[in-house]
Structure 1
Amino acid sequence: HAQRRLTLLSCSDGSPRPLTDKILERPRLVERIRASMADPALAHMTCYNATTSERALALALDIPLYACDPDLLPLGSKSGSREIFREAGVPMPDGVEHVHDLSDVVEALVQLKRRTPDLQRAVVKLDEGFSGEGNAVFSFRDAPAGAGLARWLRRAVPTRLAFEAPGLDWPHYEPKLREMGGIVECFVEGAGKQSPSVQCRIDPRGDIELISTHDQVLGGQSGQVFLGSSFPAAPAYRFDIQAAALRVATVLRRRGVLGRFGVDFISVPRGHGWEHAALEINLRKGGTTHTFMTLQFLTDGAYDPETGLFLTPAGLPRFYYASDNLQREAYRRFTPEDLIDIVVDNGLHFDGATQQGVAFHMIGAVSEFGKLGMVCVADDPGRARALYAQAVAILDREAGA
């Protein structure tokens, strides 16, 4: 029955440009989209990320766009996020916003080092960086004290910044910084630190809804690149970050934000508790949106903010471990159909009776790039992780990896 409710239309244009722009260039296609709506009065448009193009398409279709107004997107930049955190009274790392060139970066680093003399590392972030790949870490190792610090930094920054994105260097990074702007902030150190996030929604009536919490799985040179997530966030701090996210959501609502967004944190064990610092706001759907919606649609359950758990209609909790960055060169020998056959043959597919098992996504990329995503649902967080490890081991075996 799902297929009967699905209408697929093609631009017949494989060029590497935004899909919305391709649609807008084709008035007859816009008209076909409009004609496919059974009742335009009940329709709305949703998308991963809303830009001026998506706003133009919604206006052309004469339906509401259920997303943040593109004019408000600067609130979700790295600089804008820090300004919102400050207004909401939510702790964040010490830092400087709106840096645009080497001189700004040097001045910001000097300020941070003077305020925190034992600071070991700082991070430079592009305002519009995505999944941590616009970040670069700077080490103060061997930095001189006193008046010579600024001169040393001017020489050291272009050569000592460690970029998260492979192959990036300062001559290519600085033009992006000039164009987008960015921030410099203290790199949060600490053994056992975690990277949780909270997903929220502001509906057209202005009501704020807590959708979910996650512990993010991060990789890259300094652990800042998003690889996947586990749901929900750890019970030791999920209610603390929910409360902080609600304060952020209240400020965003006053500014006119609508739709889904996420707030990322860094959490470090201190003494008998946890210390949290807000890092950024993503005014869009994120890497955890499709995994959480997969759980919703597979189980018909709902998230309970009072317990921080996802409950099935029978009241049973469900957990998952997910990745959208599982990649092996050997996986290119698989077709999407092969993936489904493999999990079914090994008894790992999602079972509607037990409401546990493996569900794939992004499988259209497997044959060309050897890349896929996976959501592993279980009745216990440990079993969800074990299910993921088991599925990866089976795929590796089948691929001869």
Structure 2
Amino acid sequence: MEFSQYDVNALMQITTRPNLVFTEGHGMWLTDNNGKRYLDYLQGWAVNCLGHSPQCVVDAITSQAGKLLNPSPAFYNEPSIVLASLLTANSVFDRVFFANSGAEANEGAIKLARKWGKVNKNAAGENRYEIITFNHAFHGRTLATMSASGKTGWDTMFAPQVPGFLKAELNDIASVERLITDKTVAVMLEPVQGESGVIPATREFMQALRALTKQRNMLLIVDEVQAGMGRTGELFAYQLSNIEPDIMTLGKGIGGGVPLAALLAREEISVFEPGEQGGTYNGNPVMTAVGIAVLSELLKPGFLQSVKDKGAYMRAELLKLSEKHGLDGERGEGLLRALKLGKDIGPKIVEMARDMEPVGLLLNSPRPDLLRFMPSLTVSKEEIDQMVNMLSEVLTKLGH
């Protein structure tokens, strides 16, 4: 079907899209309405952790959809209980609230921290509600999560902001200490800042942050919407630093392509009372059945080690590419990586790679001087080699 035959004007214009419609996807590959195939290094922005349409996800949806779609969150359902138990058994957390998106999970984390700050008041008997977040952070697109984020321009886009979010600098513990007041209840961060260009928090910073928050009776919240669920080579990114946070949020990869997110907390932090938190679809049995299938794959012997191995392989190949074309190197954790271009050619590379023939390459440039790679955790070394070779071809055409 020709693109001109699609009435795309029925969709609200929220982003600039190329004139193609994807109709099918398997593993690392997408196919468009003209039958052209693309090697996909976006994977829905780190959503499809097992690739496009993995059989375990298809089977989970099909099986659960034939049993029970939505009994309402006023009742228990089996898949949500099983997935919550799997998550707590494999983390430091005791309680789980399921949501539909990472932004919704982060909104819940903010609410939970503020509720905990009402229960654990300061010395003057006042509520604590301020949360220290970080410049260049990304926590979602609700009003509160946009206010918590540190993206340039977001403070005025839908002003006024939700108050109570102070911005520190990642990997600078002194910048956090300077912002602490008697109203501070928590520090919230991404263990790897994704949207700002794949900037990992150092092990030393994460450990210092945990020590500081404990010392000052504050919560530590890790937003693992992008970096969690095996993406870094550990099941959860906080495990890289050998710390125990108080609250964690998950999204993207936990659903393997379907809308699923989670807010996890330790028992003593779980202070919500009935009526304070909810959602029509929280713990939906179809979505949580998919979550079980995804997490079960990640927990199979050798899976996470394979992510570490392929992450190391991709790092080595990107460094070779960088040296060959005179770029500025790479950074990241596991299979969340970035190539530093040294100049603002990212958007042009994205366009040229997509338009390659006979197959295209889908890349992401969150900043004009950088490319971000978010492949399926099941990506093969051959598919890494193919991506690097295709990217090298584009760079050569650009005169690099």
TM-score (norm 1): 0.31
Greater strand proportion? 1
Q: Which has the larger radius of gyration?
A: 1
TM-score under structure 2 length normalisation: 0.31
